[in-house]
Amino acid sequence: MADPLLRIEGLVKRFGGIVATDQVSLDIAPGELHAIIGPNGAGKTTLIGQLTGEIRPDSGRIRFRGTDITRRPTHRRSLQGLARSFQITSIFLDLTVAENVALAVQAHAGHSFRFWRRVASDRTLQEPARAALRQVGLDARADARAANLSHGERRQLEIAMALATQPTMLLLDEPMAGMGPEESARMVETLRALKGRLTILLVEHDMDAVFALADRITVLVYGRAIATGDPDTIRANQEVRRAYLGDQGTEAADG
Amino acid sequence: MMRPASLSSPSNLAAALILVLLALLPLFAELLASPFLVTLFTRMLIYAIAATSLNLILGYGGMVSFGHAMYIGIGGYVVGIMASHGVHAGWLQWPLAIAISALFALVIGALCLRTRGVYFIMITLAFAQMVYFMGVGLEEYGGDDGLTIYNRSSFGSLLNLSDKRVFYYVCLVLLVGALYLVHRLVQSRFGMVLRGSRSNDRRMQAIGFPTYRYRLTGFVIAGMICGLSGALMANHNEFVSPAMMHWVQSGDLIVMVVLGGMGTATGPLFGALAFLLVEYLLSRITEYWQIIFGPLLILVVLFARGGIGSLFDMLEGRRRG
């Protein structure tokens, strides 16, 4: 494998007596779509939190593009090209779709002590914003208020906002959570179109989506990575079947 | 409700019509032989400027400052104190009123903006009360009794502010300027940060905006505009007193902004005019005008969430719908 874009080495995070991340090591190659699956409480969100910098690991190392980012604050990671979408949708409901994305572009376009020129006629903000909206198929809704979007459209807006900052790597925390089958299918198409153009780490409950999209899959159980491999390998892995795929029925209720 | 409405929206047309009528008001006053009208409406214009400044931080920035009248007092006292020392030049008085207001806003904002929600409301109120009692403590400038101003700000032979009509037009021009300034500000990059931070401050920080410094800048700009309205108020009343910055005054400003439509370009104009007009008319009927005013306010809040401005737009929508 080529030099990994993201390398996780021996990552450990404890919350009291619970080991949420237990010696996780993982390499993700440039351009790879890597999925992380696992039952509830497997520590998927904790792992993502450590990658974005919101949770500080107890030990271990995270390297991004060759440099150690284990102790870097969130906004610096974001500026280096590590973008995330949130599990709980947190867009700007009072603003339009286009304004939401333009704001994400603006965050990476130097300081904002510019008091006079209208943002709406500022092409350095509007063009990347429109491009990101096109990528997720939301350009027709550019002038709608974000509050009027459906749940699925809001998740797509989330991804457009992450894309607008032109990241090298995208961290997606359950982008299909709470979606109906139709919306899920549209999201799969969006992700398929992005695949290969940038590196994606996808945490997702929707097994069909994961197996359809991922180059490689890591299975997390009680904080430990019990298996990593391509979809066929994971499907065939006995330990994975026992630990996870066998009781998928109990997972269905989770969002 | 935060969308900058298109120029031809009913609320903007209504605002334009009101501004034209306001420009003609001194003529009406002369025709009706009631010069008192000019005085009444000058007061409205000055309050509208103060409300416009509050709208920037309250309506667009989500900062519920419960001490905004403080800057009316600060701007007013700067003019009053300078006048009492024989400095009447408006070129000195007004910029200094704005600068001192900015200084107060910078220090107070730097502390208050570290808090959120109810705490922000309470701490801005606390600071405003502190400044209020500072005014009461200014014994050599009249203390509680206030300070009479014997000469209005002088602009040489350019403007004679003692002429009530000249002063009226100065206030009108400054109001239009303040409305336009805020209208442009909220559409700029700076304004987008303010509005984004009102909508979801946590997310703003997550995508890389250090929002504190932008909110503080907005707080200072609002203080400066309001300080100018204070300088006008001092000239209008030819008198300053701590009562100008009593917390009830700050509450009135909030009511004007909410009444007119928070976070709308023309809301403060509607709000200030409606508030003061209703207050004037009701207080002619009864001393206890608040008994009628209170329920009226509740009706507006219940049935026109976006304030008076949205009422115009709703009527239009119904006609089309």
Arithmetic mean of pLDDT, B160-180? 96
Q: pLDDT digits over B54-101, tens only?
A: 999 999 999 999 999 999 999 999 999 999 999 999 999 999 999 999
Give A48's contacts in chain B (Cβ within 8 Å).
none
- Distance of alpha carbon A89 from alpha carbon A106, whole angstroms: 20
Q: Which one is predicted more confidently, A194 or A76?
A: A194
DSSP B207-267: TT--HHHHHHHHHHHHHHHHHHHHHHHHHHHTEE-GGGG-HHHHHHHHHHHHHH-TT-SSH
Would the CB atoms of B203 and A90 count as touching at under 8 Å? Answer: yes
- Helix residue spans in chain A (DSSP H): 44-52, 74-80, 97-107, 123-135, 151-164, 181-194, 207-213, 231-236, 238-243
Give B205's contacts in chain A (Cβ within 8 Å).
75
The rounded mean pLDDT for chain B is 92
Length of chain B: 321
Kindly state the percentage of chain B with pLDDT values over 70: 96
Arithmetic mean of pLDDT, B220-248? 97
Q: What is the pLDDT of residue B155?
A: 94
Secondary element (H or E) of residue A218: strand A216-221
DSSP B270-308: HHHHHHHHHHHHHHHH-TTTHHHHHHHHHHHHHH-TTHH
Q: What is the pLDDT of residue A76?
A: 80
CA atoms within 13 A of residue B58's CA, in its CB half-sphere? 28
When scoring B185, B188, B189 by the number of chain A Cβ atoms within 10 A, the one with the most, hence best to mutate, is B189
Burial A215-230 (b: 16+ CB within 10 A, else e): bbbbbbbebbbbbbee
- Distance of alpha carbon B299 from alpha carbon B319, whole angstroms: 22
* CA distance to partner chain B, nearest, from residue A171 (Å): 14
CA angle B257, B259, B260 (to 5 degrees): 65
What's the predicted TM-score (pTM) here? 0.84
Would the CB atoms of A78 and B205 count as touching at under 8 Å? Answer: no
A7 inside 8 A of chain B by CB: no
Query: Hey, which of A77-91, B241-255, B294-308 has the most confident mean pLDDT?
Result: B241-255
Q: Residue A35, SS3?
A: strand
Q: What is the pLDDT of residue A87?
A: 56
Q: Which one is predicted more confidently, A67 or B301?
A: A67
- Distance of alpha carbon B221 from alpha carbon B215, whole angstroms: 10
Residue tagged 């359809």 (tokens): A212
- CA torsion sign for A36, A40, A45, A50 is negative
Q: Which one is predicted more confidently, A209 or A86?
A: A209
Q: What is the pLDDT of residue B105?
A: 98
Least confident of A245-254, B149-158, B193-202: A245-254
Kindly state the percentage of chain A with pLDDT values over 90: 55
Q: What is the pLDDT of residue A238?
A: 87
B203 inside 8 A of chain A by CB: yes
Residue A89 has pLDDT above 70, yes or no: no
Q: Which one is predicted more confidently, B121 or B303?
A: B121
CA atoms within 13 A of residue B84's CA, in its CB half-sphere? 16
Closest CB to A119 among B2, B188, B214: B188
Q: What is the pLDDT of residue B2?
A: 41
User: B213: nearest CA in chain A?
Assistant: A113
Q: How many CB atoms lie within 10 A of CB A17?
A: 5
Closest CB to B208 among A75, A90, A117: A75
Q: Which one is predicted more confidently, B104 or A81?
A: B104
Burial tier of B17 (Cβ tally within 10 Å: 0-12, 13-18, 19+): exposed
Q: How many helices (H) and strands (E) does chain A have?
A: 9, 10
Q: pLDDT digits over B2-45, tens only?
A: 444 466 788 889 999 999 999 999 999 999 999 999 999 999 99
Amino acid, res. B94 = W
Q: What is the pLDDT of residue B150?
A: 95
Residue tagged 């709208």 (tokens): B55
Arithmetic mean of pLDDT, A69-80? 84
* Per-residue tokens: A233: 């390998």
CA atoms within 13 A of residue B91's CA, in its CB half-sphere? 5
Domains with residue ranges and CATH for chain A: 1-81+168-255 (3.40.50.300), 92-166 (no CATH)
Would the CB atoms of A90 and B202 count as touching at under 8 Å? Answer: yes
